[in-house]
Structure 1
Amino acid sequence: MSSSNYCINIFKYSRYKTSEVSIGDLHLGNNHPIVVQSMTTTNTNHTEETVEQIKTIFDAGGQMVRMTTQGQREASNLENIKKELRQQGYDGPLVADIHYNPNAANIAAQHIEKVRINPGNFVDGAKKFETYEYTNESYFEELQQVKKKLVPLLKICKENNTAIRIGTNHGSLSDRIMSKYGDTPMGMVESCLEFLRICKDENFHNIVLSIKASNARIMVHTVRLLVQKMKEEDMNFPLHLGVTEAGEGEDGRIRSAVGIGALLADGIGDTIRVSLTENPENEIPVATDLINYTLQKEDHQPIRSVEDAVYHPFKYVKRNSVAIKNIGASNVPIVIGNKKTGQDTPDYFVGGGNNASSIIKLEDWKGIENKESKYPLFSVKELNDLPNCELAFLKLTYSQMDDAFAESIKNKSNVVIVLDTDNVNSVAEQRAAFLWLMDQEIVNPVVVYKKYAESFNEESQLKAACDFGPLFLDGFGDGIWIDYEEESELGLVNKTAFSILQAARVRFEKPDYISCPGCGRTLFGLQSTTAKVKEQTSHLKGLKIAVMGCIVNGPGEMADADYGYVGSGQGKITLYHQRKVVKRNINEEQAVDELIKLIKQNGDWKEQA
């Protein structure tokens, strides 16, 4: 069986065709365009405030808006919010976001176009992080309880032509799923499928699916697995994509682009939401840019297919390579960039002026008087005439990889391949090149390269994240080299390269912040708090810190975080070390200082240099 059957063709861009779903007057799936959406941060009981924010999202280009719906009171007020919006000329579909409360879902489904439920807590309630032993009979009994709660909602949705999103979050898998499958992609997929099978039995098909995680690697591999598992059970429901708790600013955008971009590149995704710890309208242009950039891949130059049995689309498997100096094997991916930068200093930079005739290791260059200590950068035509040296870089494209090249490169143990591309579908072409190298058992390290013929700016960052990120998520690449005509600000390209590697979780050069976008459940000033936490901890390289607005996903989404700062009441914060509660209900004013104390107590604090 082909390892690439999760999408139509990994060598040719094509949208994966899903079933059509109607959300009010909006059509999703099938051949319909990818839909952009966002979520309010207001209290859903506050009609005027919520209406104004929804209008702002629609005015920014959003096509669907979701609202937190904690309880029956909020669910009932959706009718007033929708009425007010319609009177003001806004007719885009509205979505209720439900956790823990099936009764609230039943009410919401009578008033608005779509209800999102979380299979991790729709029936099972809050996570206890307890492991249970299940027999086949006891597991079946729990599924019957799920059916008992879900079927009434399905009946109401049928009567009111309301759609459902089954939205699985990595951080809120039920204890039942965790006990049987653990914190795994298969567990996340099965959490979705349990509810889908009930819907199918009840002949309810107006469904959208999502599987989200703050870890872009987990999110990508799990969504791919969901697509495959649906195909095996003769299902093809539309997919909502997002990297949850992506954060804010540059890091939040790059992390989202790496995760969402990887799936869009394979034709997967019918609607997307970029979850930023910012005002919700800021998410819309980022999502739009990701879609527009992906659609440029249509009708790209043909890519020579290759045996893909060595490809692992559902888990991270690093390509095997040998080490040449500090490149390849178990070394973290290197960055080749511009030496004229401050904080984000590359490992190597390019010499030889505009001709880029050599690459210099910055560490070597700093320590010697002769600034001409360089490693040659050459073309495939020069491969057999390479002089004897400890390290050389060979730049070529996939189309130049043939039998003659394979024969020559196997005898060159000092050569690092710089994998170039001129294909608009660079992800597919460079992935094919890696698969070809693996099929040929060529183990030279590979630096992934692409040049942007434009001024490198914030929009270029998204493009680079879409182009490079998917390869590193799948274990391809021993280095990154983003080339450009010029950059809009000094050091932006280097900063982008390091951020892409961190978003793909292959190299950490700064703290990793997991922060949610906020919603009506948020219990403190999320944006200002996140900024304050970053300001005081930005020097703690590699430390993972989660800043979460409430307990819905908080403890679970911190599965691989070192420290968590989670809203537990109005103006109250609970601190976690990994998944364990350390201090409860701290006043918000003291909570950041208490977080710093906790980091110091556990020996993870370092003074700023």
Structure 2
Amino acid sequence: MQTLSTPQTAPTAPEFDTTIHRRKTRPVKVGNITIGGGYPVVVQSMINEDTLDVEGSVAAIRRLHEIGCEIVRVTVPSMAHAKALAEIKQKLIQTYQEVPLVADVHHNGMKIALEVAKHVDKVRINPGLYVFEKPKADRNEYTQAEFEEIGEKIRETLEPLVISLRDQGKALRIGVNHGSLAERMLFTYGDTPEGMVESALEFIRICESLDFRNIVISLKASRAPVMVAAYRLMVKRMDELGMDYPLHLGVTEAGDGEYGRIKSTAGLAPLLADGIGDTIRVSLTEAPEKEIPVCYSILQALGLRKTMVEYVACPSCGRTLFNLEEVLHKVREATKHLTGLDIAVMGCIVNGPGEMADADYGYVGKQAGFISLYRGREEIKKVPEDQGVEELINLIKADGRWVDP
């Protein structure tokens, strides 16, 4: 459940403040979840089932939602898929509960988008694909007249969707992808963050002219430095233009395994640390359920959401008085279901109390064969090593902070 926090702007923060001061953005409702407006950073993912498979899609959405995915996206490549979403939405309500849903619409998608807007909470469009621009092999520039002509075609195609979403109180994500910029943007700005930003701004201006501002912006790229630059430029341009739209962050096509996770973190963390970003997705070439723990781990590491135990552990050295890796594993297995605690596992007394000063509880090898248990900075008791984990649990229970798995 979301909890409202008061957003602050980075310039007012002290020079060496360790708190992340999030960029102030307008709140955008997506079902029962709010993106921006000082609410916690929202976690998203996308199912990979064919949307025509209603039963399979409902099951996939439920699996994601049950493990903490707050908004789920589904692909809608045809009118049949759009109509299937009505069944999916209804079946979710009948068999589970309402889940905020986003429809992904590509390729000349006005009719599809208009249909699906009736059934979901947000529609995502890609400016580079929403209106087809037939490439010319011999083109070396776009005239202003050509640019404006296509701009007017975009407006004609986008306007009915914007009006529908506006009148229903629903949201739109303008989702720019570095790999699918429109041809005229490529000719005008090159394959650059600037082209990504201008592509988004063109669509934003049309929305604003129709008095519609329930907008979320994304500027994804498969290379983290391009993605980071695009979002920073977008913030700069929005600040200049007096815009405060929330941002959806993601490194698209990050891959799989350890590198996919590192690549996503490399793109998300610098922006989140600067207070930029209101909702995130980690795009892995794996089961969608694998994305959610990575999202929460990134947010937890930055102090933006507290959804699990934070473990502080030293890397081990010659002073360590027990098998640190084994003990950390035991402590984690016993306490990983808890929420909101910081637990330190330190191998010796030299750095232990100092390095774990901010932890709620400490497990320190202070004397061979014995463990010293701490509450904050205070040493509570010394126990035999083989009783350490059990006594740590007893200490947490005594403080009323334990819940059974």
TM-score, length basis structure 2 = 0.71
In 1, Cα distance between equivalents of 2:21 and 2:160? 38
Structure 1 residue 263 and structure 2 residue 295: aligned? no
Aligned residue number for residue 59 of structure 1? 66
In 1, Cα distance between equivalents of 2:228 and 2:161? 30
Aligned residue number for residue 237 of structure 1? 245
Q: Which runs of 5+ in 1 are unaligned?
A: 1-5, 299-337, 339-352, 356-453, 460-483, 487-609
Match of 1:85 among 79, 92, 115: 92
Q: Assess if the C-alpha contact under 8 Å between 1:24 and 1:113 holds in 2.
A: yes
Q: CA deviation at 1:278?
A: 0.6
Q: How does 1:86-165 map to 2 (within 5 A)?
A: 86-100=93-107, 101-124=109-132, 131-165=139-173
Aligned residue number for residue 209 of structure 2? 201
Aligned residue number for residue 190 of structure 1? 198
Q: CA deviation at 1:262?
A: 1.1
Q: CA deviation at 1:60?
A: 1.2
Aligned residue number for residue 283 of structure 2? 275
In 1, Cα distance between equivalents of 2:136 and 2:231? 26
CA RMSD of aligned residues (A): 2.6
In 1, Cα distance between equivalents of 2:156 and 2:202? 13
TM-score, length basis structure 1 = 0.47
Q: CA deviation at 1:124?
A: 2.4
SS of 1:167's equivalent in the other structure is strand
Structure 1 residue 72 and structure 2 residue 79: aligned? yes
In structure 2, relative to structure 1, the CA distance for the partners of 1:267 and 1:142 (3 Å cut) is: same
In 2, Cα distance between equivalents of 1:129 and 1:278? 38
Structure 1 residue 168 and structure 2 residue 176: aligned? yes
In structure 2, relative to structure 1, the CA distance for the partners of 1:251 and 1:127 (3 Å cut) is: farther
Q: How does 1:500-519 map to 2 (within 5 A)?
A: none
Q: Assess if the C-alpha contact under 8 Å between 1:199 and 1:205 holds in 2.
A: yes
SS of 2:286's equivalent in the other structure is coil
Q: CA deviation at 1:56?
A: 0.6
Q: How does 1:449-464 map to 2 (within 5 A)?
A: none
- Give the counterpart letter for 1:19 in structure 2: R
SS of 1:120's equivalent in the other structure is helix
In 1, Cα distance between equivalents of 2:129 and 2:294? 30
Higher helix share: 2
- Give the counterpart letter for 1:78 in structure 2: L
Q: CA deviation at 1:131?
A: 4.7
Q: Assess if the C-alpha contact under 8 Å between 2:126 and 2:174 holds in 1.
A: yes
Q: CA deviation at 1:128?
A: 7.7
Structure 1 residue 34 and structure 2 residue 44: aligned? no
In structure 2, relative to structure 1, the CA distance for the partners of 1:248 and 1:240 (3 Å cut) is: same
Q: Assess if the C-alpha contact under 8 Å between 1:130 and 1:175 holds in 2.
A: no
Q: Assess if the C-alpha contact under 8 Å between 1:128 and 1:175 holds in 2.
A: no
Structure 1 residue 223 and structure 2 residue 228: aligned? no
In structure 2, relative to structure 1, the CA distance for the partners of 1:93 and 1:134 (3 Å cut) is: same
Q: Assess if the C-alpha contact under 8 Å between 1:37 and 1:62 holds in 2.
A: yes
Q: CA deviation at 1:137?
A: 2.2
Aligned residue number for residue 212 of structure 1? 220
Q: CA deviation at 1:102?
A: 1.7
Q: Assess if the C-alpha contact under 8 Å between 1:131 and 1:179 holds in 2.
A: no
Aligned residue number for residue 50 of structure 1? 57
Aligned residue number for residue 187 of structure 2? 179
Q: CA deviation at 1:181?
A: 0.5
Deviations 1:260-284 (A, max 9, x none): 1111111111110000111101111
Paired residues in the alignment total 304
In 1, Cα distance between equivalents of 2:272 and 2:79? 36
Q: Assess if the C-alpha contact under 8 Å between 1:41 and 1:280 holds in 2.
A: yes
Match of 1:285 among 275, 278, 293: 293
In 2, Cα distance between equivalents of 1:57 and 1:69? 19
- Give the counterpart letter for 1:292 in structure 2: Q
Aligned residue number for residue 379 of structure 2? none
In 2, Cα distance between equivalents of 1:294 and 1:271? 14
In structure 2, relative to structure 1, the CA distance for the partners of 1:45 and 1:239 (3 Å cut) is: same
Aligned residue number for residue 370 of structure 2? none
- Give the counterpart letter for 1:122 in structure 2: Y
In structure 2, relative to structure 1, the CA distance for the partners of 1:11 and 1:238 (3 Å cut) is: farther
- Give the counterpart letter for 2:168 in structure 1: N
In 1, Cα distance between equivalents of 2:182 and 2:255? 25
SS of 1:106's equivalent in the other structure is helix
Aligned residue number for residue 261 of structure 2? 253
In structure 2, relative to structure 1, the CA distance for the partners of 1:208 and 1:131 (3 Å cut) is: farther
Q: How does 1:366-515 map to 2 (within 5 A)?
A: none
Deviations 1:281-324 (A, max 9, x none): 111111011111112699xxxxxxxxxxxxxxxxxxxxxxxxxx
Q: CA deviation at 1:47?
A: 0.4
Aligned residue number for residue 350 of structure 2? none
Q: CA deviation at 1:239?
A: 0.5
Q: CA deviation at 1:24?
A: 1.6
- Give the counterpart letter for 2:66 in structure 1: D
Match of 1:25 among 32, 54, 69: 32
Deviations 1:556-608 (A, max 9, x none): xxxxxxxxxxxxxxxxxxxxxxxxxxxxxxxxxxxxxxxxxxxxxxxxxxxxx
Percent sequence identity over aligned pairs? 44
SS of 1:256's equivalent in the other structure is helix
Q: Which runs of 5+ in 2 are unaligned?
A: 1-8, 307-314, 320-326, 333-344, 348-405
In 1, Cα distance between equivalents of 2:222 and 2:137? 19
Q: Assess if the C-alpha contact under 8 Å between 1:127 and 1:174 holds in 2.
A: no
Q: Assess if the C-alpha contact under 8 Å between 1:129 and 1:175 holds in 2.
A: no
In 2, Cα distance between equivalents of 1:130 and 1:111? 43
Q: CA deviation at 1:130?
A: 7.5
In structure 2, relative to structure 1, the CA distance for the partners of 1:161 and 1:89 (3 Å cut) is: same
